């Protein structure tokens, strides 16, 4: 039986709740694990009951007004890790790991960063270093792991609509790409690029100027998997249903869905 795992930066769960529920009810009815980023809500303000009606149990690691991640699962969850174990970085709620059977699913909302030399630029790089330490302390590449999320890095030029225009901008700087590649080299495959090495496909488009209609975007949302998972990988796709609409107002990201056969 196929297992569907979705990564979706919703850019506020309260603003996007009706759209997401409609999408799940009308379009994507068989997602097993739904990983939200940037929920911008604390756990007590997350719409647990609305998703329970669709068969999901929610695990939330949130904060008021900023950041926040959640995992919704139709499968039983046997383990949960909130944060990365560094109090400084865990002030911002960015990483939530859950165990389903013998599979770990790690949901990530990496810092956006800023122009080179700014405080948020250094924070992003330091956060990635701490995140690599978290992986080393808690996991092994020999385990079955699917890691998803908004990593705020377009790892190659093919992952941006105009490499020359966007060269050395936030998300394309060589030092950002280098540290994200260290995460990949830890033991992850980029599932979309594994299946589609030459395909241009974006996951984020600016709200300004109708960028989504011209497909002027970036691929910054990923589904990554360790080697034991790759034989089960069947497909990865971006669902534009929630993005190419005017009402309800969409997130600036589209959901990315990975399909795995007989993974659990």
Q: Tell me the H-state helices in 3-102.
A: 13-26, 48-52
Read off the pLDDT band of 246 (50, 70, 90): confident
Which DSSP helix (H) or strand (E) runs through 15?
helix 13-26
- CA 140 – CA 134 distance, rounded (Å): 11
What is the span of the domain harbouring residue 23? 2-261
Share of the chain above pLDDT 70, in %: 100
- Would you say residue 83 has pLDDT above 90? yes
Q: Across the chain, what does the average pLDDT equal?
A: 97
Residues pairing with 232 in the sheet: none
Spatial contact of 259 and 4, defined as CB atoms under 8 Å apart: yes
Please report, for the domain that includes residue 164, its CATH number. Answer: 3.60.10.10
Closest C-alpha to 94, from 136, 51, 52, 123: 123
pTM of the model: 0.98
Cα distances (angstroms) measured from residue 171 to each of 33, 36, 207, 226: 27, 20, 17, 24
* pLDDT, mean of residues 77-90: 98
φ and ψ at residue 39, rounded to 5 degrees: -75, -25
Spatial contact of 238 and 212, defined as CB atoms under 8 Å apart: no
pLDDT at position 58 is 98
Q: Which residues contact 95 (CB under 8 A, 6 or more apart)?
A: 61, 69, 82, 83, 84, 106, 107, 108, 109, 131, 134
- CA 171 – CA 154 distance, rounded (Å): 6
Strand pairing class (103-109; 204-205): unpaired
Residues pairing with 218 in the sheet: 160, 204
State how many domains the chain has. Answer: 1
pLDDT at position 227 is 98
């Amino acid at each position: 039986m196929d297992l569907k795992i979705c990564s979706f930066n919703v850019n506020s769960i309260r603003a996007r709740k009706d759209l997401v529920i409609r999408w799940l009810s009308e379009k994507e009815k068989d997602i097993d694990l739904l990983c939200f980023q940037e929920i911008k809500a604390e756990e007590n303000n997350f719409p647990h009951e609305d998703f329970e009606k669709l068969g999901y149990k929610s695990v939330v690691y949130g904060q008021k007004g900023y950041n926040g991640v959640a995992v919704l699962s139709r499968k039983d969850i046997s383990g949960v890790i909130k944060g990365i174990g560094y109090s400084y970085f865990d002030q911002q709620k960015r990483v939530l790991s859950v165990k389903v059977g013998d599979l770990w699913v790690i949901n990530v909302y990496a810092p956006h960063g800023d122009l080179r030399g700014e405080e948020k630029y250094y924070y992003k790089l330091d956060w990635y270093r701490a995140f690599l330490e978290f992986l080393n302390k808690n996991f092994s590449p020999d385990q079955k792991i699917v890691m998803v999320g908004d990593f705020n890095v377009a790892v190659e030029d093919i992952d941006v609509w105009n490499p020359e225009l966007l060269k050395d901008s936030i998300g394309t700087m060589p030092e950002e790409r280098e540290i994200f590649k260290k995460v990949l080299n830890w033991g992850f495959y980029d599932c979309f690029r594994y299946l589609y090495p030459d395909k241009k496909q974006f996951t984020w488009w600016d709200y300004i100027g109708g960028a989504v209609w011209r497909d002027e975007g970036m691929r910054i949302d990923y589904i990554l998997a360790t080697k034991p998972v790759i034989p089960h990988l069947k497909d990865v796709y971006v669902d534009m249903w929630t993005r190419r609409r005017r009402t309800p107002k969409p997130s600036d990201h589209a959901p990315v869905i990975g399909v795995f056969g007989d993974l659990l």
